Structure 1
Amino acid sequence: MSAVIVLAPVVVAAWPVMVSAVMAAAAAAGFKRVKEEPKKKVRKNVVELAMENAEVVAESMSPDERIVVEREGVRVVFSRDARGRFRTCVEGDLAKDRLREIGEDLSGAVIQQYVYRRLSQELGRNGFTTLAEEKAPDGAIRLRVRRVQE
């Protein structure tokens, strides 16, 4: 038997899920959360990314909410822009191509973690139990679930 699940996230109380998704993805990549500091006049390379298929993540953030993580002098800021899109800003002393790669990898992991956590919550609320969870070498997560009949 197969099933197709369409995710239609509910925004209510989604900010904690977003924070935990960012922190899980960032920690797995070796980043740590930092408090934002005032912009210094030091010139660093900056890359702005707008990720496709990130609407579900953007819906969970208000425009004034930002999450900042840092690793080895590379700072990544996750935010929602004025148009409501999920944005990733990567800055550091590395080449722009390398910063773009770091930002895309981390953003992809954040989106995956966010969807995974929301899906797990919704499945639990609808009476499903997770039987098995596999993480493939390509990073894909496969869940086997069963609905408990009462």
Structure 2
Amino acid sequence: MKMTDDNKEIIFNNITKWLRDSNFVMSEEKITVVTSEFYAKAYLQSDHEYILEIMSATGIETRFALRIRLPVSEQQLENYENLEPKEKLIFDDKMNAVIFPQRQSINIKEKSAFLEKTISIDPKSIDAKQEVMQNISNLLGSAKKLEISFDELLSN
């Protein structure tokens, strides 16, 4: 579905409003209307460990990427990189069991691990708020499960 940049801005403003209404604190917001780039950082008042980033996808579609940096240490990432191929496959399968049902992806590179989800929003849908908040809730749940997996990796 093609949208105008105005719709993208309206949707971004709705997402940030819905987050605020759901006890998220907005720690950063950038709106560059000329290039249709929208970015925000938010965290739950009760949980500062998981910082949610909301970024507009390129193009005029109303797609946004939701991203959470996983709280994993350099040591955990190093342990992950040094796994034997069979152990790495088992660990990857464990991660995929968490993220694939939610259509999320994990990106591990350099000294960071990110959990990501791209969402498309129809501004006319009466379920838009529920869909966005459910995707964010699922992302936070997956991040917590993956953090446990990485903690187990460090303890082994």
TM-score range, shorter chain: 0.3 to 0.5
Give the TM-score taking structure 2 as reference length: 0.35
| Structure whose residues are more often helix by fraction | 2
